[in-house]
Structure 1
């Protein structure tokens, strides 16, 4: 509300988004109907253009991104032919029909999961272009209030990237599901649990993918260098892994360009070799397109056939990367790369190996390298090693993207996020995570030493993420897409059923390395769960202990409070009211800056907030004291500005707000004296960049004091210009950042578990991860901190 605090907005009649747009366009409105106009809401509705990922990119850019995606996204699934048959037939091939059954399983698994499910369905469940588990969670959060942090504001729904079609009232199913999610704390917790579980599994893939890919490729050298020991192969693999992670700092853009030609060459090699083997050895393996061979395979092998699915599922490893890395590219680029390059070449590779194994079934342990024609061995080996390195890129890149998203939504401790491309949004690099992944990869490689055990672990991580994606996309179909219930049921049963069968198979080998991804996931979930829990509790503490609206008024009357030159930016997580840290600042330092802005950095469950919609302001009473509330909204893909850029943007938007406030103050005063007339507002910019307001009042006996009204308007505009000049001068004198050093401890009556979580786990993470001022790059020379303890 004009001149009031945020929590008072419920007590007045609020302007709607449509009415606000009409005001901006100069349409006539009845101020009697509008009542008190919320200028914050007016700001929120300025931009009305929606942005859909992929629609902005022309074919030239799309093909350019499709080429990049070959080097970033498809390396993992593209190198699966190195180890799938070896992982499936761990006890050898009994008969040729078993080989046809496994080939049929591989082909139909690829067609159903990567192609049908991901390329044609899941990719469209993106959040303004972002993919991955957190993107699905944020998309659901916009339609149903499932977030556990009570910082939702009505103004958020007016953002251009936030605007979504509201489920139709006629579709009771969508409304029923939405209400169930919103009203059930258990549903919210379960959805959050699924989200962090899926996120943890994808990050775990970032450890397992490099290990299995590099080891599989390097071990092929034994075909020619028979004297090379296992220890030497492990050493070579570790050296390659270290080099791979060291290259990440150059960014996805440069890495993608460097890797794409190599992966394209790899796909060319495996496609040609596969076609050669298919023609030379047994083109009859194409009979595997008949799904009857799958049925016969399970009839013959029973339990052993079910166990072998743990190896078959490795043919789709890296599929989730297509979705998780979507923010680095776009839908069309992913679809083009997969359909034209990956699918044909990888399919030929599996068929060619199957044809070779019909003649040499005893060589299944080294199928890939044994089936390479002699002259092509060394070129293929070198490209295979390079491709295995690149295969790791997809999941490493996906891990960076997901951690960036989770940190923005308050689910991960603060880490340094570097945006590596000015041209393409969403391409990030996180140094701390990169080196932690590298250390974990080296340890796993040296401890397990064989692809078989790593493969057992890998399958669990892959299938778990796929099942979570199926559940969340099904929810999106119900709540957002409002798909026919028959299609939703079909999607959930078909894909969920296939993935569940695969999951039961990979879990069978839990003791043989399968525990590894669950261990990774458990550690990551503890980190994310503890951080998010305390984050929510901290917010609730500040909300319960917010300062009364009369505090500023009393402060303004006090003779002991000095006014310091410049602008003070007091940071708080609250999006309304005055935070409890503010009186603590005044108590320790009885002074206040000439202009004080209480700033709340708020991350929304959307990928991007347009710069025109970023700042929301309100002025606290009394106005002459110049204390403002400001909510600065970001999407989880948005980059925090440098301090100079942030200060400039905040100052400019604050001056625009002051102009708007002067307009609403005057028009509201007219509404109080005459509720029958309408006001036509025509904002226009003069050469002095000052907004002038022209008012057209009906010529009635009640409106004979036009000259007096004009004088009031002129005085109001002049007052606004004076305020703007004052703010500008204070900005030039300097900006000081005021941060609270809050120590969070469990209340003395808390349970033992809560004390361990808050006092030990959370505080350990807070001390060992980055502090807020480092993430925001605040200059130490302009930073003022005051300590305070929160008992939650």
Structure 2
């Protein structure tokens, strides 16, 4: 596809590129539905063109598939012919993107389509080009043999279809980039970016706006900067062969570790395919100064970003893990230590599912007081579109019942909007209340693998543990957070504050006259309701990484790069729009 743009002016190529990246907003499914007829027509066109060229120029061209010709090529190899191997790589350009289509189609559909349609079409197309070249061997001015082999009366149709087909081929590369970045985010090897899942059925169909516009800028810079299709082809060939090398290395590890084959089998696989790819790498290196260097620059920048982010993330996690305190440290308080309990609920957001996070212990150490009810909230993504509400919350205790400290793990799918709902706090309180009631009934079937955690969400026989009462009242500039789920920003103009705003208020009541509920359960539920009425505070940790003075240059560089990326990437996801009046950010200096 890369040769198609050789006859297209740079302004036109830039317009097509911008239009392609703008379409990414609508999702892979809609774009694929629009591009599918184009791909079908293009494949039929080039296969028919190949058949025409074979019978018109040289019907005996199929004999060229004999390995004898490859042997003659290697035996009479020279620098010029060795350098031509770089161009051969472009014949397989795009085939590697089939693996990214696994996020959109099944393995069986890809195998059948490639074996029965794509591969035969490509053989016919390249055979036709070879037949044309065999009769125009000395015509060196016609660089694009594909377009020159098209009959003159079909030349305009070819240009239109080739432009559209090139856009489709570029679409596969863009989709692959989104999938790779999404996987890097899961492995904590890339800065936080917004990922939009465009399908509620397949996990791999994603759209990343920041990456989309960055790719568009890089594509335009290459198109305008190089202005020469040969340089772009050299860079593309280098990218293809290095992708093949990485795939071969990873596959050898899969053979040895996952398939549990012997090291001899894995080594033979690596040596055979690695040797073939090393030959092509050597050919590509001859064109390093003619465009291939750009690939190394982009790779170096990308590798530095990923390495810095992964290194900083791991160091931060190690610091949190090493400095976390046990639950006994928090629960084993006494009046002699000067730690007091204040009315209200404290929601502590943390990534840790065990122990007490370091930032909260830092807060208690400097301000020896915490709320009457504490809830440690953690979010855990699941590789499914949606998590049913009845399976969304895992709730357990921290310490004994007297401490009124709970832990809640919120599980959500990639299509769930749990983090943006205004009634999130209501759901947390309801799940805690349901846990208190279920704990007394000793339902072993509800016990999760988390040990002391319980899956809550199933209705309790004929009623709930807590009854939510929704009310809407007019509030103007109120700073009360006890019952309000949504508050305006404190940066609003004073004139806007004077306008009454309709806000949702949620209160909880105890079920009346429940004979199944023990007195101890009613007391704990009532205490939870009273704490909610007193107000809610939200605790978030803010980390500030710094490096030791005696650290080496590489460590300082990676930490500073991580700090820069952390300040300029997407803000950490928060469960809900936290009112500023109730937000408590606890800062800590992490010395790495």
Q: Note the alpha carbon deviations across 1:134-169, whole angstroms, 9 max, x for none.
A: xxxxxxxxxxxxxxxxxxxxxxxxxxxxxxxxxxxx
- 1:493 & 1:659 partners in 2: Cα distance? 63
- 1:306 & 1:661 partners in 2: Cα distance? 74
- 1:767 & 1:639 partners in 2: Cα distance? 27
Counterpart of 1:276 (choices 52, 58, 67) is 52
Query: How far 1:524 moved relative to its partner?
Result: 0.8
Find the counterpart in structure 2 of residue 351 from structure 1: 127
Query: How far 1:578 moved relative to its partner?
Result: 0.8
Find the counterpart in structure 2 of residue 285 from structure 1: 61
Matches within 5 A, 1:485-634: 488-555=266-333, 557=335, 561-566=340-345, 568-586=346-364, 591-601=369-379, 616-632=394-410
* Structure (1/2) with the larger helix percentage: 1
Find the counterpart in structure 2 of residue 761 from structure 1: 561
Find the counterpart in structure 1 of residue 83 from structure 2: 307
- 1:531 & 1:564 partners in 2: Cα distance? 40
Q: Note the alpha carbon deviations across 1:611-635, whole angstroms, 9 max, x for none.
A: 6776554422242222223455678
The 8 Å contact of residues 103 and 202 in structure 2, kept in 1 or not, is answered as no
Counterpart of 1:245 (choices 7, 16, 21) is 21
1:684–1:457 distance in 2 versus 1, CA, 3 Å = closer
- 2:284 & 2:273 partners in 1: Cα distance? 17
Structure 1, unpaired ranges of 5+: 1-78, 80-212, 222-232, 668-682, 691-713
The 8 Å contact of residues 197 and 415 in structure 2, kept in 1 or not, is answered as no
Find the counterpart in structure 2 of residue 771 from structure 1: 571
Matches within 5 A, 1:192-591: 213=2, 216-220=3-7, 233-361=9-137, 362=139, 364-483=142-261, 488-555=266-333, 557=335, 561-566=340-345, 568-586=346-364, 591=369
Find the counterpart in structure 2 of residue 686 from structure 1: 461
- 2:287 & 2:576 partners in 1: Cα distance? 47
The 8 Å contact of residues 273 and 372 in structure 1, kept in 2 or not, is answered as yes
Q: Note the alpha carbon deviations across 1:44-94, whole angstroms, 9 max, x for none.
A: xxxxxxxxxxxxxxxxxxxxxxxxxxxxxxxxxxx3xxxxxxxxxxxxxxx
Q: Note the alpha carbon deviations across 1:482-535, whole angstroms, 9 max, x for none.
A: 346665455333333322222222123222211211111110111111111111
- 1:591 & 1:556 partners in 2: Cα distance? 12
The 8 Å contact of residues 597 and 630 in structure 1, kept in 2 or not, is answered as yes
The 8 Å contact of residues 424 and 576 in structure 2, kept in 1 or not, is answered as no
Q: Note the alpha carbon deviations across 1:586-631, whole angstroms, 9 max, x for none.
A: 4666653443222344568x78896677655442224222222345
1:730–1:241 distance in 2 versus 1, CA, 3 Å = farther
- 2:527 & 2:109 partners in 1: Cα distance? 51
SS at 2:71 equivalent = helix
Find the counterpart in structure 1 of residue 547 from structure 2: 746
- 2:37 & 2:187 partners in 1: Cα distance? 36
The 8 Å contact of residues 556 and 625 in structure 1, kept in 2 or not, is answered as no
Does structure 1 residue 641 correspond to structure 2 residue 428?
no
Q: Note the alpha carbon deviations across 1:417-464, whole angstroms, 9 max, x for none.
A: 111223433311111111111111111111111121111111222221
Single out whichever of 577-586 and 734-743 deviates more from structure 2: 734-743
Find the counterpart in structure 1 of residue 471 from structure 2: none
SS at 2:542 equivalent = strand
- 1:293 & 1:277 partners in 2: Cα distance? 21
1:382–1:544 distance in 2 versus 1, CA, 3 Å = same
Does structure 1 residue 785 correspond to structure 2 residue 562?
no
Query: How far 1:640 moved relative to its partner?
Result: 6.5
- 2:394 & 2:557 partners in 1: Cα distance? 38
Q: If the length of structure 2 is used for normalisation, what is the TM-score? A: 0.79
SS at 1:642 equivalent = helix
* Structure (1/2) with the larger strand percentage: 2
Query: How far 1:638 moved relative to its partner?
Result: 7.3
The 8 Å contact of residues 326 and 356 in structure 2, kept in 1 or not, is answered as yes
The 8 Å contact of residues 564 and 591 in structure 1, kept in 2 or not, is answered as no
Q: If the length of structure 1 is used for normalisation, what is the TM-score? A: 0.60
Matches within 5 A, 1:118-133: none
1:456–1:410 distance in 2 versus 1, CA, 3 Å = same
1:526–1:593 distance in 2 versus 1, CA, 3 Å = same
The 8 Å contact of residues 218 and 236 in structure 1, kept in 2 or not, is answered as no
SS at 2:462 equivalent = coil
The 8 Å contact of residues 552 and 622 in structure 1, kept in 2 or not, is answered as no
Find the counterpart in structure 1 of residue 500 from structure 2: none
Query: How far 1:285 moved relative to its partner?
Result: 0.7
- 2:76 & 2:66 partners in 1: Cα distance? 17
Backbone CA RMSD of aligned residues: 3.4
Higher relative contact order (CA 8 A, sep 6+): 1
- 2:295 & 2:418 partners in 1: Cα distance? 36
- 1:733 & 1:501 partners in 2: Cα distance? 73
- 1:419 & 1:528 partners in 2: Cα distance? 22
1:275–1:778 distance in 2 versus 1, CA, 3 Å = farther
SS at 1:506 equivalent = helix
- 2:36 & 2:426 partners in 1: Cα distance? 40
Aligned length: 525
Matches within 5 A, 1:5-154: 79=1
- 2:194 & 2:98 partners in 1: Cα distance? 25
- 1:437 & 1:741 partners in 2: Cα distance? 31
- 1:666 & 1:252 partners in 2: Cα distance? 44
Single out whichever of 296-305 and 588-597 deviates more from structure 2: 588-597
Query: How far 1:651 moved relative to its partner?
Result: 5.3
Query: How far 1:474 moved relative to its partner?
Result: 2.1
1:640–1:665 distance in 2 versus 1, CA, 3 Å = closer
SS at 2:558 equivalent = helix
Query: How far 1:371 moved relative to its partner?
Result: 0.7
